[in-house]
Structure 1
Amino acid sequence: MEFELWYLLLVPVLFGAGWFSRSFDIKEKKSVADETQTLYKGLDLLLDNKKDQALNSLVNLAKIDPDTVELHFALGTLYRKRGDYDRAVKIHNHLYNRADLSKKERARALFSLGQDYLKAGLWDRAEDSFRKTADLESDYKVRAIKELVNIYESEKEWLKAIDEAHILEKVTGETYPSRISHLYCELTLQCMFFKKFDEAAHYLQQAIHADPNNKRALIMQGTMLQKQGKLDEAVEVWKQVGKISPEYETLVVASVADTLLKAGKDADAVRYLESVAEKGINSDSVDAAVDWICKIEGPENALEFLRRYLSQKKSLIGFKRLTDLRLAQDPDNKELKELSDFLKNQIDKTVRYKCNKCGFVTKSFQWQCPGCRNWDSFAPVRSEDPSRI
């Protein structure tokens, strides 16, 4: 077979192509190795809670591979947690506007953008981002609606919050009677403030309709009935609160006793207060009952009821009231005065209302936790925490 000389020219060409291919493969492997090493370094720094150094490491990785979606989401989250909201917004906005992003990832970017604006205090922009996310059929739809409810609650846009809560019920198939009822209660208070009494009565009925067992709504209904002169009806509504949840009777003891006295039913008032004191549900309810017994029947009877309670259940609140009653009888007793001051100091330090969801503590009773924003997460009973002494 005749050998063609021009075949020899292919040898260096093929050799060069092979060398170039090998060189490219080595560079590619080196690039991947560098990216992996940088990523691991960033993750290690995150685990060590070194967010600033981790951020720098991930930024360098993003420069190596600018198309990595997950990496950019991670960077945006880190910037937001760091408080650098402008950069977080730029990253998530860039992701949202990428044409090659899937619908799911676009919804994720839009939701993340809403979180950035929310943290930055730009609630109108956050609302717009969450609204657009809620309009998309994605895994972030429910979360976006929940954020909208939270925003409207914070802005005291109660009707909008109620509308979104109803939408949330339809989307999730769940019900939120307590939350919606509380939102109507807030609307009622708002109308009362502006002296729109007819609207207030309407919204209060909506609150009770949403959740017939909402103690707050029933307490407000009793107050409204009392102001209308319907004293017997008011008392019955308030007593219903104690039947639904005995510990909430603390919140109505004074109102029931005062209304019965105004109705000229002193004996009924005393019997009611005695029943509250004998139940001994909690120190606050007994304290309120003793206060009214003292006004109606005098300090001796009040002392007797209080001693009976303290023999069964010890409490700082009870001993403080006992000391004050005795001090009222002997105002010049320095030892009693010092004991009263000491107990007051201990109560101020140790007795708190506590959220059963997040553990937030406060000196005053709240229907909504200032920390986690949950409704009905505070029991109307102050807990005595010795660790605070």
Structure 2
Amino acid sequence: MNYLLTNDSDRAIQTFIDLVEIDQNTIEIHITLGNLFRSKGEVDRAIKIHQNLLARPNLTRKQRNMAVAELAEDFLKAGLHDRAEKLYREMAALQVDDLTAYKRLLDLYISEKSWYQACECAQILYDRGDRDAAIVLSQCHCEIAQLALVDGNKKLARINLEKALDINHNCVRAGLLLIELHLSNQNYTAARKLLQRLVKHNPEYMVLYIEPAKAIYLHGKESKVYQNFLQHQYEINPSNRLAIALLEHYANNNQIDKAREFLGHILKTSPSFDAFDFALRFLKSEPRQPGDTWDSLSDFLKSMQSKKIEYICANCGYGSHAIQW
């Protein structure tokens, strides 16, 4: 205790190891002391204590598993991932708390972007009934598919994306990547079918469906269908991204009156910097348009100015557009 009070941790540890025999009553003391050093950032000392514990031959399988788990945490904290991985594999082999071992391995492989190994661990957890494993496993398959697409391996990408959707029907990422794959193969029918499924079951990701919808409908020269799609989705759940997509569509298809009218509506009801940017580009390309668009734009700028923070309290940091005495 005196060594600890004088911050002589090394001598304290050695004295503790020499004096305190490891038995059924002191194992938790060893583990707790090691954890204390680890929490203080003294990882090398934590490793020394936990390694000393593991060197004892009289540990039960459960006790050895506890010591292995703590030593693995020490190695992780020290950045020694290969050693931590080896210990977690040993934990899994002991089959005392193997689910925890696979969860730790999964986190480790994800942090290292080792997607095949991550898939292996997530698959084991999924097969063992872990509820959260389905989402993680589907995302791991998406990572592999994305790398395969970059390498031009469409077959491998498709296999992993289909696995992801089999495991998690609501995996929007897998659906979008598979649409991208279908489009690259000019399979517009499959792409459209999958898009409709995403829109129906996961409408909250609508902003991510705009570009795929544009590619699908405009390739088939279904400009009106694309326009109706945007209008319908905007009516259901208005968003800035849908509004800009609809404005761009009006402008690109020479529907100037509709673009001007809708732009005025957007600037008055839900102004945004994206709408402001579109308005500037629109007015540049259509300088002869009536002045109501300019009026809407002016109102938007005034509203932005009214929200601008001009004064900040030096004491508390409170900001205001008007002086607060």
* TM bucket normalised to smaller: 0.7 to 0.9
> What is the rounded CA distance, in whole Å, between the counterparts of 2:113 and 2:170 in structure 1?
23
User: Which residue of structure 1 lines up, in the alignment, with residue 274 of structure 2?
Assistant: 321
Map residues 228-307 of structure 1 onto 2, 5 A cutoff: 228-298=185-255, 300-305=257-262
Note closer, same or farther for the CA distance 1:233–1:293 as it changes in structure 2 (3 Å cut): farther
User: Which residue of structure 1 lines up, in the alignment, with residue 50 of structure 2?
Assistant: 92
Kindly state the Cα deviation for residue 227 of structure 1 after the two structures are TM-superposed. 1.2
1:278 partner SS: helix
1:195 partner SS: coil
Amino acid at match of 2:112: E
2:94 partner SS: coil
Selected match of 1:80 from 27, 38, 41: 38
Kindly state the Cα deviation for residue 59 of structure 1 after the two structures are TM-superposed. 5.8
Amino acid at match of 2:91: T
Amino acid at match of 2:69: F
> What is the rounded CA distance, in whole Å, between the counterparts of 1:258 and 1:169 in structure 2?
35
Kindly state the Cα deviation for residue 248 of structure 1 after the two structures are TM-superposed. 0.6
Amino acid at match of 1:79: F
Note closer, same or farther for the CA distance 1:60–1:152 as it changes in structure 2 (3 Å cut): closer
1:184 partner SS: helix
1:213 partner SS: coil
Note closer, same or farther for the CA distance 1:115–1:286 as it changes in structure 2 (3 Å cut): farther
> What is the rounded CA distance, in whole Å, between the counterparts of 1:115 and 1:99 in structure 2?
22
Kindly state the Cα deviation for residue 330 of structure 1 after the two structures are TM-superposed. 4.6
Note closer, same or farther for the CA distance 1:198–1:239 as it changes in structure 2 (3 Å cut): same
User: Which residue of structure 1 lines up, in the alignment, with residue 315 of structure 2?
Assistant: none
**How many residues end up aligned between the 2 structures?**
292
Kindly state the Cα deviation for residue 326 of structure 1 after the two structures are TM-superposed. 3.1
* 8 A contact 1:273–1:293 mirrored in 2: no
2:228 partner SS: helix
Map residues 77-156 of structure 1 onto 2, 5 A cutoff: 77-138=35-96, 140-156=97-113
Note closer, same or farther for the CA distance 1:116–1:299 as it changes in structure 2 (3 Å cut): farther
Map residues 362-377 of structure 1 onto 2, 5 A cutoff: none
* 8 A contact 2:34–2:47 mirrored in 1: yes
User: Which residue of structure 2 lines up, in the alignment, with residue 69 of structure 1?
Assistant: 27
Note closer, same or farther for the CA distance 1:73–1:288 as it changes in structure 2 (3 Å cut): farther
Unmatched runs of 5 consecutive residues or more in structure 2? 288-293, 309-318
> What is the rounded CA distance, in whole Å, between the counterparts of 1:106 and 1:256 in structure 2?
56
2:152 counterpart of 1:198: no
Kindly state the Cα deviation for residue 142 of structure 1 after the two structures are TM-superposed. 1.7
> What is the rounded CA distance, in whole Å, between the counterparts of 2:112 and 2:104 in structure 1?
12
Kindly state the Cα deviation for residue 202 of structure 1 after the two structures are TM-superposed. 1.8
> What is the rounded CA distance, in whole Å, between the counterparts of 2:17 and 2:105 in structure 1?
35
* 8 A contact 1:250–1:288 mirrored in 2: no
* 8 A contact 2:244–2:278 mirrored in 1: no
Amino acid at match of 1:80: R
1:286 partner SS: helix
> What is the rounded CA distance, in whole Å, between the counterparts of 2:193 and 2:128 in structure 1?
38
> What is the rounded CA distance, in whole Å, between the counterparts of 2:18 and 2:111 in structure 1?
42
1:135 partner SS: helix
Work out the percentage of aligned pairs sharing the same amino acid: 25
> What is the rounded CA distance, in whole Å, between the counterparts of 2:16 and 2:244 in structure 1?
64
Note closer, same or farther for the CA distance 1:298–1:119 as it changes in structure 2 (3 Å cut): farther
Note closer, same or farther for the CA distance 1:164–1:322 as it changes in structure 2 (3 Å cut): closer
Kindly state the Cα deviation for residue 131 of structure 1 after the two structures are TM-superposed. 0.6
* 8 A contact 1:188–1:200 mirrored in 2: yes
After superposition, the CA RMSD in angstroms is: 3.7
> What is the rounded CA distance, in whole Å, between the counterparts of 2:259 and 2:130 in structure 1?
52
TM-score of the aligned structures, taking structure 2 as reference length: 0.76
Unmatched runs of 5 consecutive residues or more in structure 1? 1-34, 43-51, 347-386
* 8 A contact 1:107–1:133 mirrored in 2: yes
Note closer, same or farther for the CA distance 1:104–1:176 as it changes in structure 2 (3 Å cut): same
> What is the rounded CA distance, in whole Å, between the counterparts of 1:287 and 1:321 in structure 2?
7
* 8 A contact 2:126–2:134 mirrored in 1: no
Note closer, same or farther for the CA distance 1:61–1:282 as it changes in structure 2 (3 Å cut): farther
Cα-to-partner distance string for 1:171-204 (whole Å, 9 max, x where unaligned): 4564632221111111111111222222222222
Higher deviation after alignment, 125-134 or 76-85: 76-85
Note closer, same or farther for the CA distance 1:319–1:192 as it changes in structure 2 (3 Å cut): closer
User: Which residue of structure 2 lines up, in the alignment, with residue 216 of structure 1?
Assistant: 173
Work out which of the two has the higher radius of gyration on C-alpha atoms and give 1 or 2. 1
* 8 A contact 1:257–1:269 mirrored in 2: yes
